[in-house]
Structure 1
Amino acid sequence: MNTYISGLLWVIAAAVSAGLIGYAVRRFGLDEGRPGNNDAAGQVFVIVSGMHAVVLAFVMVTLFDAVGVAREGAYREAQSLVAVSWAAEALPGDTAERVRTLSQSYANTVIDEEWPGMRRDNDISGNGWNQLERIRGAVLDAPASGEWQEGRKAEALDRLRTVHQQRQDRLNMAFNRDVSTVVWFVLVLGSVLVVLLPNLFGGTRLMPHVMIVSTLAGTLALLVFAIYHLQNPFAGDSRIDPEAFRWALERLGADR
């Protein structure tokens, strides 16, 4: 289902449910004493809604930052992969060609196999790790004479370590990023409490009251919906595409 349609359904369902509860409370509940509860209920509402707003903001900011970190990490991984190939060009024999070919294969593996798997939460094969290990073996086996070649060899190995690290961070973020059950419990129950508390207030007419609680419920549902879809930075409308590795293939001279 389209993200915008599903988000709209979340908002409508929450708004209608809260509106029906607010209507039932005002239409069939006892009004006696409710206006006198405004001071006490107002203080409780401020505390509960303020704490819930802090939790929502913290989770939202954390997930937004995670998307940015994942995007930067993908480009750092791709840039380091290109740097490995460029550093290997100074090494003798067919090392440069082997490293370039293996680097192209690795980038294609990430684009064609790993990225779709990260979007669908499928298991990732070990092809990528094997290709990086073969690149490492090619660089280690290359003879180096003189300070220049030794420096280029060390540079290639150092950049390859960066590729390993960024790859591991990318996979961790793709498969170990879900918001915990405890946080979801706090988000959902807190939203319900924030929506129900205005029903203790008195003084407003029926329809304005229904509109207030419906708007509040719809807004909270929209924020929870955003959190739900921001859990995986590689899926949904906010997903990160493998543009970094397509860029790497262009730098490595591969047609894509």
Structure 2
Amino acid sequence: MVAYILSILAAVGGVALTALVFRKVKQADEDRDPNGPSAAHAGAMLSAMFLLVFAIAIIVPWTTADAARLNTHAESQSAIDAYWAAESLPGTAPQEVRTALRDYVAFVIRDEWPLMAEGRMHPVGAAKMDELRGRVNALGARGDAEEDAKATVLEHIGAVSAARAQRTADAAATPPIGLLYLTILTAAVVIVFPFLAGARPRGMAIAPLVAMAGLLGFGVFLTWDISRAFDGPLAVGPQAFQGAMQEFARIAGGM
């Protein structure tokens, strides 16, 4: 924070020093016109700054949401693969593993997804996967076929756990808070800049400024509203896990 403040002060000081030097050497005329080169240059740069910050504030959560959506499909697909591979486990393990996988996916949809909108995960979900991994790891396999099936199921469960860890990171991910505040600041400066430059619009001349302020306000609100991958207009839904539940039912029905 100190570095940011110092950089701002340095920039302001540079402008003040430049203005003082040119005033001393008297190589430039005074510029008091709201339509003059100073106001035009500053207005263009402020608009460009706002557009840059606004674009970053939109792109960062957009890409995070896309990555989170792909990860949910990877996690649900790994659960489906584990469900298929459990068929070759010894004894009653296939039914037990498949029941545990159905419980886990149903738990994610029913209990965990609402918490993810707040950037949190339910601790029971990780415990369920650890318990399932330990249960499969403790199975006594006889023969190469059962050993291979056990290793395959463990591999898919490991993939589910890895995807779950990434989903945890996706749920907690937000754009840097400074970026969101900078979006508000630059939008506010763009709105009041004409008045700072000396313009005093009257009548219908103020209508475009009002429209611009309204759109900028909506844009700033949007950057906050989409800041979480599992909440807001870009929210990633549990469709991948709902599809996994349907696939479980299809596999079980076909056996």
Give the TM-score band, short-chain normalised.
0.7 to 0.9
Counterpart amino acid of residue 215 in structure 2: T
Asked if the contact 1:38/1:202 (under 8 Å) is kept, the reply is no
Q: In structure 1, list runs of 5 or more residues that go unmatched.
A: 1-32
Residues 146-171 of structure 1 show CA distances to partners (whole Å, capped at 9, x for unaligned) of 44443333222222122112112212
Checking the alignment, whether the CA contact within 8 Å between 1:37 and 1:200 is kept in structure 2 is: no
1:1-256 alignment to 2 at 5 Å?
A: 35=33, 37-120=35-118, 124-174=121-171, 176-200=172-196, 206-253=202-249
Deviates more, 1:143-152 or 1:62-71: 143-152
Distance 1:195 1:134 in 2: 57
Shift of 1:191: 0.9
Greater relative contact order structure (CA < 8 Å, 6+ sep): 1
Residue pair 1:115, 1:242 contacting (<8 A) in 2 also: yes
User: How far does residue 199 in structure 1 lie from its aligned partner after superposition?
Assistant: 2.6
**Alignment RMSD (CA, Å):** 2.5
State the shift of 1:248 in Å. 1.1
Give me the identity figure in percent.
Answer: 27
Shift of 1:201: 5.4
Matched residue, 1:13: none
Q: Do 1:91 and 1:143's aligned partners in 2 also have CA atoms closer than 8 Å?
A: no
- The answer (yes or no) to whether the contact 1:63–1:231 under 8 Å persists in 2 is yes
Structure 1 CA distance, aligned partners of 2:184 and 2:249? 50
Q: Which moved more, 1:123-132 or 1:105-114?
A: 123-132
Instruction: Give yes or no for contact 2:180–2:224 (8 Å, CA) kept in 1.
Output: no
TM-score w.r.t. structure 2 length?
0.77
- Cα deviation, 1:202-251, whole Å, max 9, x if unaligned, reads 78962343123222222221211111110122223432221111111122
How far did 1:114 drift?
A: 0.5
1:179: Cα distance to partner? 3.3
Counterpart AA for 1:57: A
Which protein has the larger Cα radius of gyration, Structure 1 or Structure 2?
Answer: 2
**C-alpha offsets along residues 112-154 of structure 1, whole Å, 9 cap, x if unaligned?**
1101222245x54422112111221232122334444433332
Taking a change above 3 Å as real, the CA distance of residues 203 and 134 of structure 1, as seen in their structure-2 partners, is closer
Residue 160 to residue 179, structure 1, CA distance change in 2 (3 Å)? same
Amino acid at match of 1:173: D
Q: Distance in 1 between matches of 2:54 and 2:170?
A: 20
Provide the rounded CA distance (Å) in 2 between the counterparts of 1:236 and 1:248: 24
- For the residues of structure 2 that align with 1:233 and 1:36, how far apart are their CA atoms? 43
CA 1:37–1:158 in structure 2 vs 1: closer, same or farther (change >3 Å)? Answer: same
Query: Within 2, Cα distance between the matches of 1:202 and 1:125?
Result: 55
Q: How many residues align?
A: 221
- CA–CA separation in structure 2 for the residues paired with 1:36 and 1:230: 37
Structure 2 residue ranges without an equivalent (≥5): 1-30
